Chain A
Amino acid sequence: MTTETEIRATRPVWSAARDVFFISIERMLPRPRSFWVFLLLALPVLLGGLLRIYPPKDLPLTGFELYGMVIALFFVRNLLPLVALLFGSALISDGVDSKTLTYFLTRPISRLSIFLGEFLAYLVTVLTLTVPCVVLTYVVLCAGTPQGLGFGAPNLIQDLGASALTLFTYGSVFALLGVSLKRPLIPGLLFLFVWEGFVANFPGDAPNYTLTAYARSLIRHRPSEEGLAELFSKFFGVGESVLVLGITGVVCLALAVWIFSRREYVISS
Chain B
Amino acid sequence: MNRSRRLILTAAAISVLGIGLAFSTRLTGTARAAVGPIPPEALALPADSSMVMGFDVRALTGSQFYAKFGGEGEPGRIDALAEIERKTGLNPARDIDSVVVAIRANATEPKVEGDHKRHPENALVFVTGRFDAARLESSIPEAGKASKERREGVTIFREATGKSNGAVALLDAGILVAGDSASVETFLANRSTGHGIRDSQQLVAQLQSIEPGSTFWAVGGPSVLSRVASQVGGPAANLPSVKQVVAYGHLDPEVGMTAVAEAQDEKSATKIADVVRGFSAMLSLQAGQKAELAQIADSISVATEAEKVHIKATITHELIESLKKTMGPSGRTRERKAADEVQN
Contacts and interface: CB of A to CB of B under 8 A. Distances in A.
A175 B135 CA distance: 33
A139 B132 contact: no
B150 interface: yes
A138 interface: yes
B339 interface: no
Contacts of B261: none
A220 B134 CA distance: 8
B11 A150 contact: no
Interface string A79-90: 000000000000
Nearest to B16: A135
Contacts of B150: 60
A223 interface: yes
A153 interface: yes
Nearest to B10: A132
Contacts of B7: 29-30, 128
B117 interface: no
Contact of A64 (B14, B26, B135, B173): B173
A151 B3 contact: no
A191 to B, nearest CB: 25
Interface stretch (A106-114, A166-174, A229-237): A229-237
A26 B1 contact: yes
Contact of B133 (A132, A135, A156, A222): A222
A68 interface: yes
Contacts of A160: 15
A52 interface: no
Interface stretch (B17-25, B287-295, B300-308): B17-25
B29 interface: yes
B343 interface: no
B173 A151 contact: yes
A224 interface: yes
A62 interface: yes
B284 interface: no
Contacts of B8: 29, 124, 128
Contact of A138 (B1, B22, B30, B134): B22
A152 B29 CA distance: 12
A153 B15 CA distance: 13
Nearest to A131: B15
Given A150-B29, A150-B30, A221-B133, A132 B15 contact: yes
B134 A150 contact: no
B237 to A, nearest CB: 46
Interface residues of B, number: 41
Interface in A141-184: 142, 146-153, 155-157, 160
B163 interface: no
A149 B130 CA distance: 19
A235 B89 contact: yes
Given A155-B173, A224-B133, A25 B1 contact: yes
Interface stretch (B108-116, B151-159, B327-335): B151-159
Given A139-B18, A223-B133, A153 B26 contact: yes
A135 B15 contact: yes
B89 A65 contact: no
B25 A29 contact: no
A85 B174 CA distance: 34
Contacts of A230: 138
A237 B94 CA distance: 13
B266 interface: no
Contacts of A65: 153, 172
Contacts of A124: 8
B137 interface: yes
B161 interface: no
Q: Tell me which of B7, B130, B131, B155 has the highest count of chain A C-beta atoms within 10 A of its own C-beta.
A: B7
Interface string A20-43: 001001100110000000000000
Nearest to B29: A150
Contacts of B1: 22, 25-26
A13 interface: no
Contacts of B14: 132, 135-136
B4 interface: yes
A97 interface: no
Given A138-B18, A150-B29, A29 B153 contact: no
A26 B134 CA distance: 42
A102 to B, nearest CB: 20
A139 B11 CA distance: 15
B201 interface: no
A215 interface: no
B232 interface: no
A132 B132 contact: no
A220 B3 contact: no
Q: Tell me which of A149, A152, A230, A233 has the highest count of chain B C-beta atoms within 10 A of its own C-beta.
A: A149
The 7 closest A-B pairs by CB, nearest first: A150-B26, A62-B153, A135-B18, A150-B25, A153-B22, A132-B14, A224-B137
Given A131-B11, A224-B138, 7 more contacts: A26-B4, A128-B7, A147-B172, A150-B24, A150-B30, A152-B22, A223-B134
Interface of A: 22, 25-26, 29-30, 60-62, 64-65, 68, 124, 127-129, 131-132, 135-136, 138-139, 142, 146-153, 155-157, 160, 220-225, 230, 233, 235, 237
7 contacts: A128-B8, A135-B19, A149-B26, A153-B23, A156-B22, A233-B138, A235-B135
Interface of B: 1, 3-4, 7-8, 10-11, 14-15, 18-19, 21-30, 89, 130-135, 137-138, 150-153, 155, 172-174, 191-192, 194
